[in-house]
Amino acid sequence: MNNFPIADKPSRGPMLGTIIIVLLIIIGGIYIVSSRRGGEITTPPPTDQPENPTNVAPAASADTQAAALTGLDAVQNDLTAGEADLKSLETEIK
């Protein structure tokens, strides 16, 4: 005694699901291609601005240059100390 009705027609669910998935893949591919095409880098057209604009940053002051050199000296001292440590390790290993 089977209470389930027997369908004479096959179900259309799997076919509709397949069609929807294929359409989503096609739409996604079109979206990716169009987004890549729009993202190409192009050079801007030349403008009529002068070669030396007035909004150029001022030259660094002597204090700023001295601070930068002091920082470079500190880095160089650290590297020199690191080289000395490596050489002492090499001699200990040998």
Q: Identify whether 19 is part of a domain.
A: no
The number of domains in the chain is 1
pLDDT digits (tens, 9 = 90+) for 36-90: 776 555 666 666 665 655 555 555 566 666 666 677 677 777 778 888 888 888 8
Q: Identify whether 69 is part of a domain.
A: yes
pLDDT digits (tens, 9 = 90+) for 2-41: 666 666 677 888 999 999 999 999 999 999 888 877 655 5
Q: Identify whether 20 is part of a domain.
A: no
User: Among 74, 56, 78, 77, which Cα is nearest to 66's?
Assistant: 74
Cα–Cα distance for residue pair 75/63, rounded to 1 Å = 19
Which residue segment(s) compose the domain that 77 sits in? 63-94
Q: Identify whether 22 is part of a domain.
A: no
Q: Identify whether 38 is part of a domain.
A: no
pTM higher than the cut 0.85: no
Q: Which two tokens stand for residue 25?
A: 């893949």
